[in-house]
DNA sequence: TTGAAAGCGCTAACAC
DNA sequence: GTGTTAGCGCTTTCAA
């Protein structure tokens, strides 16, 4: 069985109190005792019992992350990178990360409540914020520590890191416009997600300023998977007058779109241009390499995690609402518009 | 502050013991008391304190998963799907999953030891087994519950789920052979990973039986990322006599390889054939769609999780060592060999 | 400098 | 059917 401070106390011939203090580096233990205790602890392979320690301290040193999973095939590289960012930073500060999976909705919210009330975690990281986000509403209402990746539609006062989707999308539009594209289609994501709305706004506002037409059928919704990107692109390609460029709301859908375009015998970056969002590692090695907006997901995960730990520890945040400018990475999936029309 | 059984006891006018028993559905509480207690608990929004409960029960109802992360850009869809499988199954059985990230090596092993000794988790799920796996050696040595996805080189007695890499690869070789390919290259993965060795063996053994030559330069190592798949394919393409087909040890590397081939103006499935392994969702929507070996990662995650819970609960396993036959999914990335040589 | 004792919130053996 | 009591492993007053 596991070694406890009792075992150490017995061996050293001191009380458990002394052992506890020696281990915790209190200054009221004699150096001799301290040394002896620590040595014996080492020898016996003592590791504090996590549960006991935390029952006493009334904290768990654990961060919660509830992944919004939809279907069973949940394979978005976005999340593994985000988890890596969180995990590595948490390790640095001696926190653990509890990862749950829930489909958005009632059971998801229940999981938040249950974890909060059972004191299972000290704080939450919220990912993929929704326009009106019940998770955030709840955590705010009970004043429980959390940091979100993303904003909500109403500007609320809570700590987050987000990218500036609007300006990102405006950059994408500008890039395509400069290449001569005048018919620009868009494969967007569910409007439940707040970034979808921002990105849509970015696309639409810039398109409008440039006096480009934006017929309703140029906007097709996907669900951020490669599959729906493929299908959406096929819909766009089937239009009487298909767009010469497609703005996709993430890289995965962009890959699907490229694939659909290529299946029709068209060349991406020549016949039809495609842009993505995220710049997942694959984006650099797709064919053709993908023009996309770089969002440092790993760093954002790390940052969000660090902020949360600071909040839990009651340390002041230098900045509690961070908005990052995405960077447009131009690769070969975008090129000059094939036929310049209406210039 | 959170409601405790003490609060309920006070309100109901009973002892905390009775409350505890009523809540736990013991049969020695009067129906009236039980009903009353439960109702009050409900009203007050009582949620048991996780830590206290588990200090007492000497278990954590938590499963550990330590992800072997290398660089910062850890974005393998394999893992998000695996996590989803584990997470959803764990939810079903009321377990939580603790996810850590560690680069393979000393600190990783230390994390295992630390979590075991602090009783932080009740069991571990091991992913991507190594040939001689220290994690497994350790957990076996301390007799701590775990289930692995994958085997080790020495057949050890521990519970696992694995795919039959050898026969999978033999199927891939056969498929290419039937298409007329005689020069078959291979983009493999680090031999530290046990499946790499198995897959290599599968490729080599079948190639040998078919009397096909396998020059050393036809075997290039990658690290399972798209990037290295791209680079490895370029090496193969630069050979004086490049292979007409490339067998890749996962889908991501296959995508990279396809991209490299296409960058050279060659057509995948016509000039050069490519196969993958995993069948991640993207495989169906790549261009061309990828011929690959299907490994049901989500289901494996779920299965491994379920087995672990059974072990923790001391329930008998119907089968403790499961080997799944991968299924060859033929798509357009493979086609007839361009020039039939040496037939 | 050290130890006894209380208590974190809960469960369970035992007595009534 | 219910309460008393002890105890899970640890931290932390308080007293010596």
Q: What is the 3-state secondary structure (H, E, C) of B180-224?
A: CCCCEEEEECCCCEHHHHHHHHHHHHHHHHCCCCCCHHHEEECCC
Q: Is the pLDDT of residue A342 over 50?
A: no
CA of A12 to C1' of D16 (A): 21
Examine the pLDDT at A78 and tell me if it is beyond 70.
Answer: yes
Q: Do B287 and A285 touch (CB under 8 A)?
A: no
B302/B299 Cα distance (integer angstroms): 5
Residues of B with CB below 8 A from A79's CB?
80, 83
Q: Are B114 and A47 in contact (CB under 8 A)?
A: yes
Instruction: Confirm if B96 and A120 have CB atoms less than 8 A apart.
Output: yes
Per-residue pLDDT at A49: 93
Task: Name the closest residue on chain B to residue A60, using Cα atoms.
Answer: B51
Q: What is the pLDDT of residues A182-226, one digit of tens each?
A: 999 999 999 999 999 999 999 999 999 999 999 999 999 999 999
Q: What is the pTM of this model?
A: 0.94
Residue B320 CB contacts under 8 Å (≥ 6 apart), including other chains: B158, B159, B160, B307
pLDDT higher than threshold 80 for residue A253: yes
Q: Distance (Å, rounded) from C-alpha A124 to C-alpha A63?
A: 6
Q: How confident is the model at residue A343 (pLDDT cuts 50, 70, 90)?
A: very low
pLDDT of residue A70: 79
Q: How far is CA B59 from the centre of its chain?
A: 25
Instruction: List pLDDT tens digits, range A83-138.
Output: 999 999 999 999 999 999 999 999 999 999 999 999 999 999 999 999 999 999 99
Say what the pLDDT of residue A144 is: 96
CA distance from start to end of chain B: 79
B19-42 confidence digits (pLDDT tens): 999 998 888 888 888 999 999 999
CA–CA separation, A74 and A301 (whole Å): 19
Q: Please list the ranges in chain B whose pLDDT falls under 50.
A: 340-343
Give the β-pairing of B321-324 and B123-127: unpaired
**H-helix or E-strand containing B305?**
helix B297-312
Residue at minimum CA to C1' distance from nucleotide D5: B17
Amino acid whose CA is nearest the C1' of D12: A17
| DSSP-derived 3-state class of residue A342 | coil
Identify the closest residue of chain A to B228 by CA–CA distance.
A285
Query: Which tens digits make up the pLDDT trace of B98-150?
Result: 999 999 999 999 999 999 999 999 999 999 999 999 999 999 999 999 999 99
């Amino acid at each position: 069985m596991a070694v406890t401070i009792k075992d150490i106390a017995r061996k050293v011939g001191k009380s458990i109190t002394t052992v506890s203090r020696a281990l915790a580096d209190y200054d009221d233990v004699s150096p001799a005792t301290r040394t002896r205790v620590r040595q014996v602890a080492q020898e016996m392979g003592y590791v504090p019992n996590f549960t006991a320690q935390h029952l006493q301290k009334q904290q768990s040193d654990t961060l919660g992350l509830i992944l919004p999973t939809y279907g069973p095939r949940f394979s978005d590289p976005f999340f593994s990178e985000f988890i890596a960012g969180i995990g590595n930073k948490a390790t640095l500060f001696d926190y653990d990360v509890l990862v749950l999976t829930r489909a958005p909705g009632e059971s998801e919210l229940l999981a938040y409540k249950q974890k909060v009330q059972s004191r299972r975690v000290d704080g939450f990281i919220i990912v993929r914020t929704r326009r009106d986000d019940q998770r955030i509403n709840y955590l705010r209402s009970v004043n429980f520590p959390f940091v979100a990746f993303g904003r909500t539609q109403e500007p609320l006062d809570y700590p987050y890191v987000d990218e500036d989707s609007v300006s990102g999308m405006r950059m994408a539009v500008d890039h395509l416009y400069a290449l001569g594209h005048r018919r620009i289609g868009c494969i967007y994501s569910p409007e439940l997600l707040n970034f979808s709305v921002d990105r849509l706004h970015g696309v639409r506002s810039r398109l409008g300023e440039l006096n480009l037409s934006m017929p309703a059928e140029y906007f097709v919704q996907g669900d951020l998977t490669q599959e729906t990107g493929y299908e959406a692109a096929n819909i766009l390609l089937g239009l009487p007058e298909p767009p010469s460029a497609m703005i996709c709301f993430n890289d995965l859908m962009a890959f699907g779109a490229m694939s659909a375009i290529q299946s029709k015998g068209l060349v991406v970056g020549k016949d039809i241009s495609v842009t993505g969002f995220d710049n997942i590692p694959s984006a650099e090695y797709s064919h053709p390499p993908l023009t996309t907006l770089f969002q440092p997901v790993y760093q954002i995960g790390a940052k969000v995690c660090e902020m949360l730990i600071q909040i839990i520890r009651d340390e002041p945040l230098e900045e509690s609402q961070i908005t990052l400018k995405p960077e447009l990475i131009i690769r070969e999936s975008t090129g000059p518009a094939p036929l310049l029309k209406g210039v």
